[in-house]
Protein backbone atom coordinates (compact mmCIF):
# COMPACT_ATOMS: atom_id res chain seq x y z
CA UNK A 1 0.00 0.00 0.00
CA UNK A 2 2.42 2.64 -1.19
CA UNK A 3 -0.11 5.27 -2.23
CA UNK A 4 -3.87 5.24 -2.52
CA UNK A 5 -3.62 7.90 -5.17
CA UNK A 6 -6.61 7.57 -7.48
CA UNK A 7 -5.38 7.74 -11.05
CA UNK A 8 -6.79 10.77 -12.79
CA UNK A 9 -9.72 9.87 -14.97
CA UNK A 10 -8.56 11.01 -18.37
CA UNK A 11 -10.91 11.09 -21.35
CA UNK A 12 -9.12 8.14 -22.85
CA UNK A 13 -9.56 6.07 -19.73
CA UNK A 14 -13.23 6.90 -19.51
CA UNK A 15 -13.71 5.88 -23.13
CA UNK A 16 -12.17 2.46 -22.71
CA UNK A 17 -14.08 1.86 -19.48
CA UNK A 18 -17.28 2.68 -21.35
CA UNK A 19 -16.44 0.38 -24.21
CA UNK A 20 -15.56 -2.45 -21.87
CA UNK A 21 -18.76 -1.98 -19.86
CA UNK A 22 -20.89 -1.91 -22.99
CA UNK A 23 -19.21 -5.03 -24.29
CA UNK A 24 -19.67 -6.70 -20.93
CA UNK A 25 -23.40 -6.04 -20.92
CA UNK A 26 -23.67 -7.73 -24.31
CA UNK A 27 -21.58 -10.73 -23.40
CA UNK A 28 -23.19 -11.18 -20.00
CA UNK A 29 -26.60 -11.18 -21.65
CA UNK A 30 -25.48 -13.75 -24.18
CA UNK A 31 -23.59 -16.17 -21.97
CA UNK A 32 -24.45 -15.25 -18.43
CA UNK A 33 -22.25 -13.82 -15.74
CA UNK A 34 -20.26 -16.98 -15.06
CA UNK A 35 -20.26 -18.11 -18.65
CA UNK A 36 -18.63 -14.92 -19.86
CA UNK A 37 -14.87 -14.88 -19.54
CA UNK A 38 -12.81 -11.74 -19.15
CA UNK A 39 -11.26 -12.62 -22.48
CA UNK A 40 -14.71 -12.72 -24.13
CA UNK A 41 -15.51 -9.26 -22.86
CA UNK A 42 -12.19 -7.80 -23.95
CA UNK A 43 -12.46 -9.34 -27.38
CA UNK A 44 -15.91 -7.87 -27.84
CA UNK A 45 -14.66 -4.47 -26.75
CA UNK A 46 -11.61 -4.66 -28.96
CA UNK A 47 -9.08 -4.70 -26.14
CA UNK A 48 -6.84 -7.24 -24.49
CA UNK A 49 -6.98 -8.45 -20.94
CA UNK A 50 -4.19 -6.05 -20.10
CA UNK A 51 -6.55 -3.16 -20.70
CA UNK A 52 -9.21 -4.83 -18.61
CA UNK A 53 -7.04 -5.30 -15.54
CA UNK A 54 -5.75 -1.79 -15.92
CA UNK A 55 -9.32 -0.52 -15.52
CA UNK A 56 -11.03 -3.06 -13.29
CA UNK A 57 -9.63 -5.12 -10.49
CA UNK A 58 -11.84 -8.10 -11.28
CA UNK A 59 -14.97 -9.23 -13.05
CA UNK A 60 -16.91 -8.66 -9.85
CA UNK A 61 -15.65 -5.12 -9.74
CA UNK A 62 -16.98 -4.54 -13.24
CA UNK A 63 -20.32 -6.12 -12.36
CA UNK A 64 -20.83 -3.69 -9.52
CA UNK A 65 -20.36 -0.71 -11.79
CA UNK A 66 -22.45 -2.26 -14.53
CA UNK A 67 -25.40 -2.91 -12.25
CA UNK A 68 -25.30 0.68 -11.07
CA UNK A 69 -25.40 2.02 -14.61
CA UNK A 70 -28.14 -0.46 -15.43
CA UNK A 71 -30.38 0.84 -12.66
CA UNK A 72 -29.57 4.48 -13.17
CA UNK A 73 -30.48 4.20 -16.82
CA UNK A 74 -33.84 2.75 -15.86
CA UNK A 75 -34.54 5.56 -13.40
CA UNK A 76 -33.74 8.03 -16.16
CA UNK A 77 -36.13 6.34 -18.53
CA UNK A 78 -38.89 6.40 -15.95
CA UNK A 79 -38.34 10.12 -15.46
CA UNK A 80 -38.50 10.76 -19.17
CA UNK A 81 -41.58 8.62 -19.65
CA UNK A 82 -43.38 10.50 -16.92
CA UNK A 83 -42.83 13.73 -18.79
CA UNK A 84 -45.20 12.68 -21.57
CA UNK A 85 -48.41 14.65 -21.69
CA UNK A 86 -51.79 13.30 -20.65
CA UNK A 87 -50.47 9.93 -19.62
CA UNK A 88 -52.63 7.68 -17.46
CA UNK A 89 -51.01 5.37 -14.93
CA UNK A 90 -51.22 2.33 -17.16
CA UNK A 91 -49.96 4.31 -20.14
CA UNK A 92 -47.07 5.57 -18.07
CA UNK A 93 -46.09 2.06 -17.07
CA UNK A 94 -46.38 0.89 -20.63
CA UNK A 95 -44.21 3.78 -21.74
CA UNK A 96 -41.66 2.88 -19.12
CA UNK A 97 -41.29 -0.68 -20.23
CA UNK A 98 -41.62 0.18 -23.89
CA UNK A 99 -38.80 2.66 -23.37
CA UNK A 100 -36.57 -0.01 -21.91
CA UNK A 101 -35.10 -0.26 -25.34
CA UNK A 102 -35.50 0.89 -28.88
CA UNK A 103 -35.57 -2.54 -30.41
CA UNK A 104 -36.63 -5.86 -28.96
CA UNK A 105 -33.02 -7.05 -29.05
CA UNK A 106 -31.96 -4.62 -26.40
CA UNK A 107 -35.17 -5.15 -24.47
CA UNK A 108 -34.23 -8.79 -24.26
CA UNK A 109 -30.79 -7.76 -23.12
CA UNK A 110 -32.25 -5.60 -20.41
CA UNK A 111 -34.43 -8.39 -19.08
CA UNK A 112 -31.68 -10.97 -19.11
CA UNK A 113 -29.25 -8.66 -17.40
CA UNK A 114 -31.78 -7.74 -14.75
CA UNK A 115 -32.32 -11.43 -14.09
CA UNK A 116 -28.58 -12.08 -13.94
CA UNK A 117 -28.07 -9.27 -11.47
CA UNK A 118 -30.92 -10.57 -9.34
CA UNK A 119 -29.48 -14.08 -9.24
CA UNK A 120 -26.10 -12.68 -8.41
CA UNK A 121 -27.66 -10.62 -5.64
CA UNK A 122 -29.43 -13.63 -4.19
CA UNK A 123 -26.11 -15.46 -3.98
CA UNK A 124 -23.78 -12.74 -2.78
CA UNK A 125 -24.68 -10.70 0.32
CA UNK A 126 -22.55 -7.73 -0.73
CA UNK A 127 -24.10 -7.58 -4.18
CA UNK A 128 -27.50 -8.08 -2.58
CA UNK A 129 -27.27 -4.93 -0.53
CA UNK A 130 -26.31 -2.85 -3.55
CA UNK A 131 -28.92 -4.38 -5.81
CA UNK A 132 -31.66 -4.05 -3.21
CA UNK A 133 -30.89 -0.35 -2.84
CA UNK A 134 -30.99 0.13 -6.58
CA UNK A 135 -34.27 -1.72 -6.93
CA UNK A 136 -35.71 0.44 -4.18
CA UNK A 137 -34.70 3.56 -6.07
CA UNK A 138 -36.38 2.31 -9.22
CA UNK A 139 -39.54 1.43 -7.34
CA UNK A 140 -39.65 4.76 -5.54
CA UNK A 141 -39.37 6.54 -8.85
CA UNK A 142 -42.22 4.48 -10.24
CA UNK A 143 -44.35 5.12 -7.18
CA UNK A 144 -43.93 8.86 -7.63
CA UNK A 145 -44.80 8.67 -11.29
CA UNK A 146 -47.82 6.45 -10.77
CA UNK A 147 -49.13 8.60 -7.94
CA UNK A 148 -48.96 11.64 -10.16
CA UNK A 149 -50.69 9.90 -13.04
CA UNK A 150 -53.40 8.47 -10.83
CA UNK A 151 -54.09 11.86 -9.27
CA UNK A 152 -54.17 13.42 -12.71
CA UNK A 153 -56.87 10.96 -13.69
CA UNK A 154 -58.77 11.40 -10.46
CA UNK A 155 -58.53 7.71 -9.67
CA UNK A 156 -58.06 5.88 -6.41
CA UNK A 157 -55.98 2.72 -6.43
CA UNK A 158 -57.61 -0.25 -4.73
CA UNK A 159 -54.24 -1.11 -3.20
CA UNK A 160 -51.28 0.90 -1.91
CA UNK A 161 -49.26 2.38 -4.74
CA UNK A 162 -46.13 0.50 -3.78
CA UNK A 163 -47.89 -2.83 -3.96
CA UNK A 164 -49.34 -1.82 -7.29
CA UNK A 165 -45.88 -0.96 -8.57
CA UNK A 166 -44.44 -4.22 -7.31
CA UNK A 167 -47.22 -6.09 -9.05
CA UNK A 168 -46.67 -4.13 -12.25
CA UNK A 169 -42.96 -4.91 -12.23
CA UNK A 170 -43.61 -8.59 -11.65
CA UNK A 171 -46.18 -8.70 -14.42
CA UNK A 172 -43.99 -6.86 -16.89
CA UNK A 173 -40.93 -8.99 -16.22
CA UNK A 174 -42.97 -12.15 -16.13
CA UNK A 175 -44.66 -11.53 -19.45
CA UNK A 176 -41.41 -10.48 -21.10
CA UNK A 177 -39.82 -13.66 -19.87
CA UNK A 178 -42.70 -15.80 -21.05
CA UNK A 179 -42.49 -14.15 -24.43
CA UNK A 180 -38.79 -14.92 -24.71
CA UNK A 181 -39.31 -18.55 -23.86
CA UNK A 182 -42.49 -19.04 -25.89
CA UNK A 183 -42.50 -16.28 -28.51
CA UNK A 184 -45.82 -17.20 -30.09
CA UNK A 185 -47.77 -17.68 -26.90
CA UNK A 186 -48.35 -14.09 -25.86
CA UNK A 187 -48.74 -11.00 -27.97
CA UNK A 188 -46.77 -7.95 -26.98
CA UNK A 189 -47.95 -6.46 -23.73
CA UNK A 190 -51.12 -8.54 -23.60
CA UNK A 191 -50.69 -9.43 -19.97
CA UNK A 192 -50.13 -5.90 -18.76
CA UNK A 193 -52.84 -4.55 -21.04
CA UNK A 194 -55.49 -6.81 -19.57
CA UNK A 195 -54.37 -7.04 -15.98
CA UNK A 196 -53.18 -3.54 -15.15
CA UNK A 197 -56.52 -1.81 -15.81
CA UNK A 198 -58.18 -4.23 -13.42
CA UNK A 199 -55.64 -3.40 -10.75
CA UNK A 200 -56.22 0.27 -11.46
CA UNK A 201 -59.91 -0.24 -10.86
CA UNK A 202 -60.72 1.01 -14.33
CA UNK A 203 -61.72 -2.20 -16.02
CA UNK A 204 -63.62 -0.78 -18.94
Partner DNA sequence: TGCATCCGATACGTTGTCGTATTCAATTCG
Partner DNA sequence: CGAATTGAATACGACAACGTATCGGATGCA
Positions that interact with a copy of itself (CB under 8 A): 30-35, 108, 112, 115-116, 118-119, 121-123, 128, 131-132, 135-136, 158-159, 163, 166-167, 169-171, 173-175, 177-178, 180-182, 185-186, 190-191, 194-195, 198-199, 203
Angstrom distance (rounded) from CA 189 to CA 111: 14
Q: Of all helices (H) and strands (E), which one includes residue 177?
A: helix 161-181
- Partner from a copy of itself, DNA, none contacting 55, C-beta within 5 to 8 A by type: DNA
Q: Is 61 in the site for DNA (CB under 7 A)?
A: no
Please say which residue, 55 or 114, places its beta carbon nearer to DNA. 55
Q: Is 18 in the site for DNA (CB under 7 A)?
A: no
Q: Which of 108, 2, 23 is nearest to 66 (CA)?
A: 23
Residue 107: count of CB within 10 angstroms of its CB:
18
- Partner from a copy of itself, DNA, none contacting 202, C-beta within 5 to 8 A by type: none
Please say which residue, 55 or 67, places its beta carbon nearer to a copy of itself. 67
Task: Candidates 18, 30, 32, 58: give the one binding DNA (CB under 7 A).
Answer: 58
Angstrom distance (rounded) from CA 18 to CA 5: 22
Q: Is 12 in the site for DNA (CB under 7 A)?
A: yes
Q: What is the CA radius of gyration of the chain?
A: 19
Q: Is 1 in the site for DNA (CB under 7 A)?
A: no
- Partner from a copy of itself, DNA, none contacting 54, C-beta within 5 to 8 A by type: DNA
Q: Is 194 in the site for DNA (CB under 7 A)?
A: no
Angstrom distance (rounded) from CA 78 to CA 134: 14
Q: Which of 30, 31, 106, 27 is nearest to 62 (CA)?
A: 27
Angstrom distance (rounded) from CA 10 to CA 5: 14
Q: Is 54 in the site for DNA (CB under 7 A)?
A: yes
Task: Candidates 22, 26, 59, 99: give the one binding DNA (CB under 7 A).
Answer: 59
Angstrom distance (rounded) from CA 107 to CA 94: 13
Please, what sign has the CA dihedral across residues 151, 152, 157, 160?
negative
Residues near DNA (CB under 7 A) are: 7-8, 10-13, 15-16, 37-39, 42, 46-51, 53-55, 58-59
Amino acid sequence: MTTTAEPRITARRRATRDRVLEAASEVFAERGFHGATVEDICERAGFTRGAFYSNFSSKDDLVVELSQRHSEALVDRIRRASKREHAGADEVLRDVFAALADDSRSKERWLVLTTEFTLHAIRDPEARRAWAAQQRRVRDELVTVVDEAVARQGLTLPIPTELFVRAAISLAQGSMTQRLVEPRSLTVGELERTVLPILLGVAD
